[in-house]
Amino acid sequence: MTDRILLSSPHMGGTEQKYVQEAFDTNWIAPLGANVNGFEAELAQYVGSAAASATSAGTAAIHLALDLLDVQAGDTVFCSSLTFIASANPILYLGATPVFIDSEDTTWNMSPQALEKAFEDAQATNTMPKAVIVVNLYGQSARMDEILDICNRYGVPVVEDAAESLGSTYKGKHSGTFGKFGIYSFNGNKIITTSGGGMLVSDDEELINRSRFKATQARDAAKHYQHSVVGYNYRMSNIVAGIGRGQLEVLDARVAKKREIFDTYEKALSQIDGLTMMPELENTFSNRWLSTLTLDPQKVNVTPYALIDALDAANIEARPVWKPLHMQPLFDGCKFFAHSDEDVVSERLFAQGICLPSDTKMTEQQQQLVIDVIKNTIVS
């Protein structure tokens, strides 16, 4: 088998070109037009949010959310540590300082226990954060009830980074719709893609309208070009939005396939002592964007990197889980609050975790090859 088995690549549904062609036919190529409006309305309806604003990237959506929450230089923002750096970079864009929060085992996401400790410290030091960025990792929602209860008690708004969890639900409600703002990503590797792009959602329609204003260079209502506040060039193009409209039509099918891939791995690998698939919290539904697992070093005599190398030798792409942000050189010196003194969960997951190929175009034969390589490497 010569074709490389990929982690997660774009998978077109077939109707995307229809919407793109409409953009060409009407000559709406700029970041305006029917596809942008349609994609925003259709995505908002799908997740049950009042309004949505299409952006050039998920990172741009986070940046806009923090800007609209008046995050400024000298402020602090709490953020999940076990995530891609795009979750936290917008904090730096605004001159603020991130404070990182550890994970917990039932979701791999933000630990309410660690979050409570961070708030207690902030209250004692008079450094209350302007916002809390909660990330839903690999499609699994965080423990939103507990997290929202804590944040509401301290009066701090939540930005829900649902870049990886579109189509997931928590107690029947869509991931990304719990905080003041939610964000989604349509990067090439996400469950649906526009090649690049993102979406900001909120039940506050006034703020979403404000985000559109800020995302188009904050041009005032005047015949000449007049600007009173800082703006950005963050609106999604009408062509890209056309791809998104077509992709949204196949989202449910992609979620079903991702879950089927995960279930196949779990059934085939569950008998290996020391190998544990990522959990799914009770009363939640994960889109299983990436099938991930951990290897217990006390029970498995193969390191994650050795297994990744073995898969690579068979032309199979696999990766470690995200390196926690509090361990990144860029954030050296930033505060970090662990789940407990005895167990830094995010560091353990990074040391033991692997992301397996979860491409929705992967054949049964290709997935079986991945499984065979894993079994042969661990057993040998």
Q: Which residues are catalytic?
A: 190
Of 303, 311, 317, nearest to 353 by C-alpha is 303
Can you say how many angstroms the Cα of residue 151 is from the centroid of all Cα atoms in its chain?
Answer: 20
SS (H, E, C) 128-171: CCCEEEEECHHHCCCCHHHHHHHHHHHCCCEEEECCCCCCCEEC
Backbone angles phi, psi at 139, to 5 degrees: 100, -10
What residue type is 258 in one-letter code? K
Q: Are 279 and 307 in contact (CB under 8 A)?
A: no
User: Judging by DSSP bridges, how do beta strands 131-135 and 158-161 pair with one another?
Assistant: parallel
Q: Are 328 and 60 in contact (CB under 8 A)?
A: no
Farthest CA pair distance, the chain:
73
3-state secondary structure of 203: coil
Rounded-to-integer distance, Cα 349 and Cα 347, Å? 5
Q: Are 96 and 73 in contact (CB under 8 A)?
A: yes
Q: 339's torsion region: left (phi>0), alpha (psi -120 to 50) or beta?
A: alpha
DSSP-assigned letter for residue 11: -
Q: Look-up: residue for tokens 């260079």?
A: 217
Q: Look-up: residue for tokens 């789940």?
A: 339
